[in-house]
Chains A and B, each alone.
Chain A
Amino acid sequence: MLELLIVLGILPLVIGAIAVVTISSFHNQAITSSRFATSHDAQITAAYFVRDVQSAITVTSQTGVSTCSSDGSSTQLLGLSWTNAQGQAVRVSYGLSIGTNPTFLVRRSCVDSAKPITTNVSVELFNGLSTPTVSNSCGGPTSCAVSGAQTIASVTVNCGDGTTTCANSGPVTTYAAGGSPGIKSIVLFVHEGQSKFQYTLVASPRNQNSAAGATPPGSTGPPLVLLGSGSAVLKCSGSGKGPVTVYGAAAVNSSSPGSIVLNGNDMLQASEVYTQSTAPVSPASAYTGPYVVGPKISDPYAGLPDPSTAGLTTYGSGGLNGPGIYTSIVSVTSTTTMASGTYIFEKGIKISGTTKLTGSGVFIFIGVPNSSAAQNAGFQLIGTAVANLSPMTTGPYAGVLIFEARTNIGTLQIAGLGSTSTYGGAIYAPDATVDTSGNGGVATGSIVSNSMSCGGNGGASIGGPFPQVTFPVAGQSYTTNGSNPGSWAGQNPCSPNQAICGTAVDLSGVVTTIQMSLQSGSKCWDGTLPSGKASFSASCPKYITVSSSGTSWYQAWSQTYLGKGTYTLTIQAIDNAGFSRTTTISFTIS
C-alpha cells in the first residue's frame, strides 16, 4: 500500500516533467531551427555579398532586367559585373527565385557565356509570406522586395555624388568616369519575414579608380579595342588603299607578333598602338606612330547585360517594321528609316542593293539574348547599300549602337561598296569579327570586337569627336605687347582676331557641343568676358560652350585678359552619340 502511494505521488511529477519537456521540445524545435536557419542565411549572404561588391567594376540597381539570367526574370535587386583574373566576364545578380514557394533570395552568377549558377543565399526570407514584388520605388532604398506592405529585402546604392539612384537606369562604373559618379558603398538590408530577425550588410567596391577597370571608349578609352588572341586580329587584305584611322589609341590584347597585319597599300594611323607584343604590326612600315606596352585591356562592356525582351513586339519572317524582336533573318532591300528603339535580330540582318538605312536613337542587338548556345548571326551591308545610324543617348545602352551576343561569331560587315557608312557610338562584338573592307568606307565612334578585317579603298575611321586647338599653340609662349611678333595678337590666325580657336572633326556623327576650360593655377576661368583681366575664380574644370560652325570653333578673346603665367586649355567635344573627347594643351604668357 505504501509503495502504491509513493508511486502515485511521484509518477505525476515525472509524467508532468516529461510532458513539459515534450511540449517545450515541440514548441522550441521550430523556433530553434528557424533561428539557426536565419543565422545561416546571414552568414551565407555576408560571405557572398561583400566579396561580390568588393570585386565589382559596374553596378546596376535597375529592376526590370537581369544582369545574369536566362529566365527573363525581372526580380533583380542588384547587378554586378567585373572581369576576373582569367579575363572572363563575370556577372552576378541578386534577386528573387522564380516559381519557388516560399520565395528565396538568390545569387545568380554567370562567367562568360556559361549557364548561370543559382545559389540560394537566404531561404527563410519570405517564409510564410505572400509572393513579393521588386521595384525601384522604395521610399528611400534604391531597390526593394516587398511582400504585402512589408519590405523584406532592400538594396541602397550610395553613389559618389551623394544620391542613391545613379545606377537605376543601368550599369555604372564603381569609379567616377564617363558620367558615373562612382559607388561609395552598397547596403543590403534584410528583415526575415517570420522570425523578424534582421541584419544589415555594408560593402564597398575596391576598384575605386579608373585604372582598375577598362574605360569605355566614349570618353577616354581607346576607340579601337581588339579582344582576341592569336595573330592577325587586325588584318587588311587586298589591294585597297584606304587607311585605318583611329582618332585615339588602338588597343590589341593579342600577345602574338604580327597581331596587326597590313597587306598591300594599307596603313594604320593612331595616336598610339597599345599592345602586348613588341612587334605587333607587320610590315612595321605600315604604322609609324608610338607603341605603348601594358597589361591587357579588360572588356570595357563586360558588365553590359543582354537586353530585356519584355515589352518588345515579336516579328517572324518579313521585312523591317520597327523596334522589336525579329526571329528570322531580316532582309532590307529598300531605303528605310529605323525608328528609335531596341531591335533584336536573332538571326541577323542583311542590307543590300542601293538601300540607304538610316536611324537615330537606335540600339541593335544581333543574336538571341542571354543564350549560352553558339550562334552565327551577322550584320551584312553589301552592294552599294549605305547605313547612317546613331545610338541612344540615355539608358543602359547609351552610346552603344550594335551589340552582338557574346556567344555569336557572326561577322559584322559594315562597309558597302557605295558611299561611306557612318555608325555613331560603339560597335561591340566580343566574339566576332568586324569587317570594314568595303570600298565605300566606314566611320564609327568605336569598335570593341574580337578581331577586325579591313582592306577596302574607302578606309575605316574609328573614333568619336576629335577636337584640336589651332591657337594658342601647345607649348608656345606669347607676349601681350600689341601686335608685335611673338605677341598673342601678332601670332593669332583666328577669326575674330585674338580669339581662341580650333577644329572638331567627327566622321561618325555630328558634333553637338564644343566647350573649353581655361585653367590658371588651381582655378578656372569663370566664363565672363571682362573689361580688364579674366576672372579665374571657378572650380576646375569649368566648361564654357564656345561658338562653332561646321568643323570650326572659336571663343572670342583678347590678349589683355591674360596676365603673365602658364595656362592650361582643355577643349571638349561631344557628339550626337554622347561620345566626348578632350584635348588639353598648355601655353605661357610672358
Chain B
Amino acid sequence: MPRAPRSDDGDTLIEVMIALLVISVTTAALMTGLATSIGASATHRNLATLDTVVRSYAETIKADVQLQAAPLYQDCAWITTTNVGGIPTAQYNTKSGGVVTTTPLTFTPPAGYSVQLDFLHYWNSTTYSFNGDSSTTCMSAAGDQSGIQLFQITATSPTRSHESLQFVVRVPT
C-alpha cells in the first residue's frame, strides 16, 4: 500500500516557543535540583561535623570534671570563662577547705567552629529539679546536694548553624 505523503508543514513559532519553554523549565528544575543536592550535602557535612564537635566537647568536660586531681568530683561547682590563646575557654571551679580549684575545660574545635558552655546546674533533692543558681552558695539552699551536675553546651558551625546538648555528670562511684 502506498505510504501517505509527509506533510511539508513546519512547526509554528508558538509550538517551538512552547517546546523551548518546556525544555527551559526542565533544565532550570534540574539545575535547581543539582544545586539543592550540593547544598544539602554541604549542610549534611556541616551537621555531621557539628555533631562530632558537640559530642567531643561533652566528653572532654566529663573527663576533665571526673578526673580532677583530688577529690575527683566536687559539690557546688561553678563555671567561669577565661581566655586561652585568645580563645574564650570555660573553667570548672570548685571550692574545698577554702581553696578554689580551677580546671580549664580546654577544647580546640575545628577551624570555623566554636563551642561554649552555657550553664552548670546542680540537683536539689527537695524540689526534685535542677537548681538554676550556678553559684558558690549552692549548699545554702535546703536540699542542694552533691552527685549530679547538669551541663549545657552549644557548638556553632561556620554557617552559624548550632547544636546544643545537655548532659549530666555524676559522682564517679
Give the total number of A-B pairs whose CB atoms are below 8 A apart. 108
B60's contact among A25, A160, A202, A206, by CB below 8 Å, is which? A202
Complex contact B12–A3 (CB within 8 A): yes
A14's contact among B23, B44, B52, B59, by CB below 8 Å, is which? B23
Contact flags (1/0) for B9-36 with A, using CB distance below 8 Å?
Answer: 0111100100010011001001100100
Complex contact A14–B13 (CB within 8 A): no
A551, CB-defined interface residue at 8 Å: no
Complex contact A35–B45 (CB within 8 A): yes
Complex contact B52–A201 (CB within 8 A): yes
B166, CB-defined interface residue at 8 Å: no
CA distance A199 to B52 in the complex (A): 7
Looking at chain A's contact residues, the main secondary structure is helix
- By beta carbon, the residue of chain A nearest B52 is A199
CA distance A50 to B45 in the complex (A): 19
Q: Give the chain B neighbours of A10 by CB distance below 8 A.
A: 20
Size of the B side of the interface (Cβ < 8 Å), in residues, is 37
Q: Please give the distance in Å from B89's CB to the nearest CB on chain A.
A: 15
A204's contact among B12, B31, B59, by CB below 8 Å, is which? B59
Complex contact A28–B20 (CB within 8 A): no
A211's contact among B41, B56, B173, by CB below 8 Å, is which? B173
A208, CB-defined interface residue at 8 Å: yes
CA distance A2 to B10 in the complex (A): 12
B141, CB-defined interface residue at 8 Å: no
B30's contact among A11, A25, A202, by CB below 8 Å, is which? A25
Size of the A side of the interface (Cβ < 8 Å), in residues, is 42
B129, CB-defined interface residue at 8 Å: no
A18, CB-defined interface residue at 8 Å: yes
CA distance A84 to B38 in the complex (A): 43
Contact flags (1/0) for A173-201 with B, using CB distance below 8 Å?
Answer: 00000000010110000000000011111
B63's contact among A7, A38, A42, A185, by CB below 8 Å, is which? A185
Complex contact A24–B34 (CB within 8 A): yes
A184's contact among B63, B110, B172, by CB below 8 Å, is which? B63
A239, CB-defined interface residue at 8 Å: no
Complex contact A39–B41 (CB within 8 A): yes
Complex contact A32–B55 (CB within 8 A): no
Complex contact B62–A204 (CB within 8 A): yes
B164, CB-defined interface residue at 8 Å: no
Contact flags (1/0) for A316-353 with B, using CB distance below 8 Å?
Answer: 00000000000000000000000000000000000000
A209's contact among B12, B49, B172, by CB below 8 Å, is which? B172
Chosen A-B contacts, 19 in total, with CB atoms closer than 8 Å, are: A3-B16, A10-B20, A24-B34, A28-B37, A39-B49, A42-B48, A42-B49, A43-B48, A182-B67, A185-B63, A198-B110, A199-B48, A199-B49, A200-B56, A202-B55, A202-B56, A204-B66, A209-B172, A212-B172
B-side residues, CB < 8 A to A, are 10-13, 16, 20, 23-24, 27, 30-31, 34, 37-38, 41-42, 44-45, 47-49, 51-52, 55-57, 59-60, 62-63, 66-67, 72, 107, 110, 172-173
A-side residues, CB < 8 A to B, are 2-3, 6-7, 10-11, 14, 17-18, 21, 24-25, 28, 31-32, 35-36, 38-40, 42-43, 46, 50, 158, 160, 182, 184-185, 197-204, 206, 208-209, 211-212
Known: A14-B23, A31-B41, A208-B67. 18 other contacts (CB 8 A): A3-B10, A3-B11, A3-B12, A21-B30, A21-B31, A21-B34, A25-B30, A25-B34, A28-B38, A32-B41, A35-B44, A185-B59, A198-B110, A199-B110, A201-B52, A202-B55, A202-B63, A203-B56
